[in-house]
Chains A and B, each alone.
Chain A
């Protein structure tokens, strides 16, 4: 079986759209609330989860034949937690700035349901390479939803994108304009509503499939 066979391509592509972890499987919603009030943390979180899911998938896939069935969830959790802790230690020693940025997310990465979901549903049954593709695909599928939600929340809630002001200052009420930032968008509840809108749009587009 070649590395880039059609089946493997499907493993990689399906979580990006038809089997999206957030929009279809409705996993990882909690972290989608926490980090999407601005675009930048959403991107950082998306990439972190992608990397960790991919490597945890590979490790569990390599161990899958030896893991005792009754404690498999605990084994998966230990692998994820150890991986995240080691990575965050290395970052703290060599790229301190990045580690400061990520510090908030470390805990959120470990508890992300997508990670456990993929380990349990995919890596336990498949080889390392397929598992790696599956991890990257699911991570990116998750990152995509986070970026979309983060984009709208930052644009409507703060009037900026990645910290750059998009809506001109002169439009604002305090400067005599007619525009006001939507304070609701900065609240976590709006993330759920935006995710719901995303799922709605996603289902409408993919109706026939």
Chain B
């Protein structure tokens, strides 16, 4: 066989064309034949992310748990039912240093306290910005407060860099070495939550049903009822051991807890 002249123009052009066509066909074939499986994985991953935002991480059967716990709302938010308590999950979208970041944050029935949070990213720096997906960072949001004077005050700040006068209830520590990603998380939280402020207000139901400010009592109209099992009843004896109820001592004369806490709230 005569040796091909691999340096001729015709050979070069034909070689390049054939190679490109083969590679294009191969990639298209692989991508389209695997698309269904990939989409299923992505959908399951999103469900897992939403579950993570209500502190259900690493569930074995994500689909089943999701169907059990989460209800999707028309406005893009989700309602989660955790042991009989409702949480509102708000989706977050923003920009990190290199690309998009997103997440979900769940709010207690009081429309104020963060129940859990989840963040993810597309291409933040490994070991620095990418650490926002790690559990220790996300659990740092649990129990933080969102609104201050009807503005979203919750934010991620470097130690000592939080605006003065902002109490620790609103501040989450930033990730070391990832200032720009942390700033992105803060902007994302503040903008996205502001967009859903109405949904959160509606979820809250207008009036405060909270008893003594304790999460367990959110659902109870009055703390004296049995539904307040965790808070028992809010008469003074029980409240004494409960830091949030300590101020109930002011109401020592009142046996009825509901009114006690309500008057306490108005004092604040």
Footprint of B on A, CB under 8 Å?
A: 34-38, 41, 65-71, 74-75, 78, 82, 85-86, 89-90, 92-94, 96, 100, 103-105, 153-154, 157-158, 181, 183, 186-187
Contacts and interface: CB of A to CB of B under 8 A. Distances in A.
Interface in B27-48: 27, 30-31, 34, 37-38, 41, 44-45
Contact of B128 (A65, A85, A186): A186
Contacts of A66: 4, 6, 15
A93 B38 contact: yes
16 contacts: A34-B126, A35-B127, A37-B125, A38-B126, A41-B126, A41-B130, A68-B7, A68-B16, A69-B7, A75-B19, A86-B26, A90-B30, A92-B38, A93-B37, A96-B41, A183-B176
Interface size, B (range): 20 to 34
A74 B128 CA distance: 34
Contact of A186 (B26, B34, B127): B127
A38 B133 CA distance: 15
Interface in B190-212: none
Contact of B27 (A34, A82, A187): A82
Nearest to B4: A66
Interface in B129-149: 130
Contacts of A86: 26-27, 30
A112 B130 CA distance: 21
Contacts of B122: 103
Interface of B: 4, 6-7, 11-12, 15-16, 19-20, 23, 26-27, 30-31, 34, 37-38, 41, 44-45, 122-123, 125-128, 130, 176-177
Contacts of A157: 177
A103 B123 CA distance: 8
Indicate the member of A75, A93, A100, A158 with the most B CB atoms within 10 Å: A93
B39 to A, nearest CB: 9
A69 B15 CA distance: 11
A90 B11 contact: no
B127 A38 contact: yes
Contacts of A94: 37
Contacts, number: 85
Given A36-B127, A85-B27, 5 more contacts: A67-B15, A70-B7, A92-B41, A104-B130, A181-B176
A155 to B, nearest CB: 13
Contacts of A70: 7, 12
A89 B38 contact: yes
A34 to B, nearest CB: 7
B134 to A, nearest CB: 8
Contacts of A74: 16
Contacts of B4: 66
B7 A92 contact: no
A149 B209 CA distance: 55
A187 B176 CA distance: 10
Contacts of B20: 78
B118 to A, nearest CB: 14
B31 A89 contact: yes
A37 B178 CA distance: 12
Contacts of B27: 82, 85-86
Nearest to A63: B19
Contacts of A153: 127
B6 A183 contact: no
